[in-house]
Amino acid sequence: EQIDPARLDGHEFAGELSLSGELRPVSGALAMSLALHRQGGAPVQLVLPPGSAEEAALVPDMPVWRASHLLDVVQAFAWAPSGEAARDDPESGTGLVRVQAPARRAAPQGPDLVEVRGQAAAKRALEIAAAGHHSLLMSGPPGSGKSMLAQRFAGLLPDMSLDEALESAAVASLEGRFDIADWGRRPTRQPHHTASAVALVGGGSPPRPGGHHQSCAQRAGYMNQ
């Protein structure tokens, strides 16, 4: 049975189709969901593979459906009346399953500044930078504690707002590095000291965020080099 194209109105589809018909996750699902949610206009529903669907559902009020196989999509839209959402049939495991965003929990905790002994002046500088939203440059010989202190800087910052968390996660999603277990945690990046400017800024074809460093450190607690 062929699907009436009118039944696909108001839906966007993304996923990698395997030779067996299974649908596999793709990068950028959260960024796609966020862009569709912010564009306004007619409401749009997303149909995505497992993994991508859970990520995209983090955007509030964004209708997201999960499909594990191409046949699930075909059957769901063949059953659905024109203009209506696809069927939600989680018990049989066929058709599309509506994905709900999990309740937002406290962000995972990282290293704490209280673990550092001594370094009073450096710790005071971190506290001032965090309180005033200032940038901070630490310079010193190897082994002086720069990385140890920098890794604990995020713990001085307040929890990310929902908009901050979405923007940060969207960048990580585009690179395929988003882990839902880190949802709401301020990202930290540690580029190698030999990293080039291109590696830091990004580029390529298609364009990608810079080596999970400068662009991916948006809303970051620190970028350590």
pLDDT of residue 216 exceeding 50, the answer is no
Residue 20: per-residue pLDDT: 93
| Banded model confidence at residue 15, pLDDT cuts 50, 70, 90 | very high
Residue 221: per-residue pLDDT: 52
Residue 85: per-residue pLDDT: 47
Count of C-beta atoms within a 10 Å radius of residue 205: 5
Could you read off the pLDDT of 34-89 as tens digits, one per residue? 999 888 777 889 999 999 999 999 999 899 999 999 988 888 887 655 545 445 54
Please say whether the dihedral angle defined by the alpha carbons of residues 47, 51, 57 and 59, taken in this order, is positive or negative.
negative
41 to 85, 104, 166: CA distances (angstroms): 18, 27, 21
pLDDT of residue 198 exceeding 90, the answer is no
Which two structure tokens, joined as six digits, stand for 19?
């030779």
Quick one: average pLDDT of 122-150?
87
Residue 16: per-residue pLDDT: 94
Quick one: average pLDDT of 140-149?
86
Alpha carbon distance 105, 101 (integer Å):
12
Residue 81: per-residue pLDDT: 56
pLDDT of residue 212 exceeding 50, the answer is no
123 to 1, 113, 118, 162: CA distances (angstroms): 67, 8, 9, 28
| Banded model confidence at residue 187, pLDDT cuts 50, 70, 90 | confident
Please say whether the dihedral angle defined by the alpha carbons of residues 169, 150, 111 and 121, taken in this order, is positive or negative.
negative
Structural contact between residues 215 and 171, judged by C-beta atoms closer than 8 angstroms:
yes
Quick one: average pLDDT of 170-196?
79
| Banded model confidence at residue 186, pLDDT cuts 50, 70, 90 | confident
DSSP 12: E
Cα-only R_g, the chain? 22
The average confidence (pLDDT) of the chain is: 80
Residue 41: per-residue pLDDT: 73
